[in-house]
A and B are shown apart, each in its own frame.
Chain A
């Protein structure tokens, strides 16, 4: 459970007073490998604690797998256009690491974050699909999952194309090319530009963060090897000097362990949050694409409606008997067009709210990540200093003997 994901919108976690404050808290735990060979997958335990009346409370446990989470994400994306749907950890992984403890733990963490963010979002937490996800039995879930013919059954390549379209539209506007079906909202343009640039910067930072993890591992390994070599050299030298080498070697090996540990911490508490940040930005890009679609649709319908109106007027003038039909069509089209406009305006409104939340949330998330990062580094450096420092009086003793 991630307490920090609680926004101020009423879902606090206080199981001590269940009746007072409404709460919905979820945890994703206990990854278990099921199945064999190529079919093998990981299942997770999803524990829901809530006092929401629609839910079977106070506690319910279900078993879910990754594709169930994907189903939830896709449903939410379809239904809640304009809201930045929380990102999922990546689908595929290099085969070798798919079942490594580290990867599984990172994924579990990511999934836990995902569900909790949904549960603490004022709108998303109301979702029926969320309730299904958290409460339905496994067979129902499996049925729903396989039925899914949603928008995002598309292959990643298709998604990429959508993003590319949005991106090219951004650049087209920036370049001043005329594209008829685009918003000409300078503030929104700025936002789009910001989002695309942000992704680039973040991706770079994340890349270096990942490398830093590797460096910690490498330094740990070389300290271990160096320590072993020092011990062997000490055995050869013998006497006080030999002892000194021996002590140095042991210290070196001990520090190697500390470095490996810090590497893991770094991965979980610094690199992952950065990756998460990148994913969140990508999710925003998907929303941007949705907005573009909605805008286009609205424009097209408005165009079509105008044409129909002109046609209707024409028909009315000629007193044609097609007028009745045309009137009905026109009315239907008008309703559709109004719907579409409403949808588009909802998206705009939601996005404006979401962007504020997003910025605030990210400042919080990164603040924590930075704090953990710097604390970890300080602790590591400190313990390195302490470890080596204890060696000094021993070295002094060696040289005076």
Chain B
């Protein structure tokens, strides 16, 4: 107990700040891991992992780990040779996401997990177990650029562009590595065009515009925040097996210069055009029918305000259940799924919140433990300096042990937390995806509404035609004007029939997209959640073991004080 090595103090000096504590070199600790001052920043950029469990399970992969405590440890396949000693996770590094590099698992328990995030080997694209497709996207190098004289503000607007680098071996891309510069507005355009082209798909939601934040935050901080968000978004898009091969995505990633996609302002001007056309339509001067090719888009986004009104009327009549709509959403399975997704979203939101609270509590625990350790280190130093009695030196030695343990435990808590953040992030990811699900279901509803509108229009046109025919048949020799009207009506009916077919096809297509996406989502989500749970639990076990060891040592060292009180 007395006067052991003072290595701690050579380096300890006066510790007032956390950084100093981070650099504190402790006795048997050979790495001064630069830990995380902000657990948020430890939130990784990895997309939801879509691999099957077999590839990613750290328990089945063959990382070499030795159980220092028990040479008879069960082998990694979980075949317990002895049920007495459970496998020790204290010596394993917990990186269940690092499936491409199982051999990198290190034995040193105090490894900083920063390496995982920056490692060039870490796969950022989910590798499906069947294909070897690979695509990695990085967003970097934000730069200020000047807008040309287009704007109203003299001197021009400035905006930020980001360098988007893609590395891939997917054949649909021509090339294996390319870079473009894009601004945020381009991303909005991409997102909008994808939403139009891939109705019914679960398209990952794009980052928010954050108008308020962009004004209020420090420019650098905001740009960095946006860069991270963009990277996450693009990687998610790349993870979607259908969308990654879309034209829109490819154009976005590859075409130099101006993004060759119609922008959303174009769409807005189309709305204006539509407003101009409306009076003519109402007076019957231009055709009031819906061109078949336009039926492929929802009325809201399109030019046709009249169509919008009609569909609105239809949806109202649907709601009031006046006349039984000809096509009802009778897919009970779909309704059940919709209900299920809604419930899932609610629970995910709740779980996501509680996960954040848990992370904060772990973070705080680590911090306070560290501060306690520091306070004891100061006390130890003080007692040693002022010691007149051996009892003081003994006490100082005891305190040093406790302080060392507390600082170590504090580090372990922080590492545990960084890993926990990564695992539980899966909850946040899927919560974000629920937005995409809702939007895909909305695509379906609006497509159905279009069909219903057309059907009821068709039936009313047909009724008119019948009436006219009945009336004109009463006049002997025919009524020239009525006959002409009937002809026109029949033409309208034909066009509307075509539109109806297109609408029905579109609806069926979206239905099918919904179905396959839902299947994919369920399958992937199950796998990802299971992985998350395993990762989370392995993490907790491992770090709890490490922390237990640290304190057991001190308990041992102070066991001399134990008496019949304990």
Contacts and interface: CB of A to CB of B under 8 A. Distances in A.
Interface of A: 2-4, 190, 194, 197-198, 201-202, 204-205, 207-209, 211-212, 214-216, 218-219, 221-223, 225-226, 228-230, 232-233, 235-237, 239, 241, 244-245, 248, 356, 359-360, 362-364, 366-368, 370-375, 377-378, 381-382, 384-385, 388-389, 391-393, 395-396, 398-399
A377 B566 contact: no
Contacts of B555: 371, 374-375, 378
Contacts of A373: 402
Interface in B346-373: 347-348, 350-351, 353-355, 357-358, 360-362, 364-365, 368-369, 371-372
A375 B379 CA distance: 21
Nearest to A208: B372
Interface stretch (B218-226, B385-393, B444-452): B385-393
B53 A236 contact: no
B463 interface: no
B398 A378 contact: no
A243 to B, nearest CB: 11
Q: List the 3 shortest-distance A-B pairs measured between CB atoms, nearest first.
A: A367-B561, A381-B548, A385-B544
B382 A198 contact: yes
A381 to B, nearest CB: 4
A349 B121 CA distance: 72
B78 A396 contact: yes
A374 B405 CA distance: 9
A197 B347 contact: no
A395 B409 contact: no
B376 interface: yes
Q: Is the interface of B mostly helix, strand, loop or mixed?
A: helix
B376 A381 contact: no
Contact of B379 (A202, A225, A384): A202
Contacts of B364: 215, 218-219
A256 to B, nearest CB: 11
Contact of B398 (A223, A366, A398): A366
Given A370-B402, A392-B537, A212 B361 contact: no
B489 interface: no
B344 A237 contact: yes
Given A211-B368, A388-B541, A229 B351 contact: yes
A363 B391 contact: yes
Contacts of B391: 356, 359-360, 362-363
Contacts of A222: 354, 357-358, 360-361
Interface in B513-566: 526-527, 529-530, 533-534, 536-538, 540-541, 544-545, 547-548, 551-552, 554-555, 558-566
A370 B561 CA distance: 9
A371 B562 contact: yes
Given A226-B357, A370-B558, A371-B558, 16 more contacts: A4-B563, A204-B375, A211-B372, A215-B361, A219-B361, A225-B357, A237-B526, A237-B529, A362-B395, A368-B565, A371-B561, A384-B540, A389-B541, A392-B537, A392-B538, A396-B78
A226 B347 contact: no
A289 B350 CA distance: 59
30 contacts: A3-B563, A197-B382, A205-B372, A211-B368, A212-B369, A212-B372, A214-B368, A225-B354, A228-B354, A233-B347, A237-B529, A241-B526, A244-B530, A244-B533, A359-B388, A359-B389, A367-B394, A367-B398, A368-B563, A370-B402, A371-B559, A372-B566, A378-B555, A385-B545, A388-B544, A391-B537, A392-B59, A393-B78, A395-B530, A398-B530
Contact of A232 (B347, B405, B545, B563): B347
Interface in B372-417: 372, 375-376, 378-379, 382, 386, 388-389, 391-392, 394-395, 398-399, 401-402, 405, 409
A116 to B, nearest CB: 13
Contact of A205 (B362, B375, B564): B375
B57 A399 contact: yes
A265 to B, nearest CB: 12
A378 B551 contact: yes
Nearest to A194: B386
B282 to A, nearest CB: 49
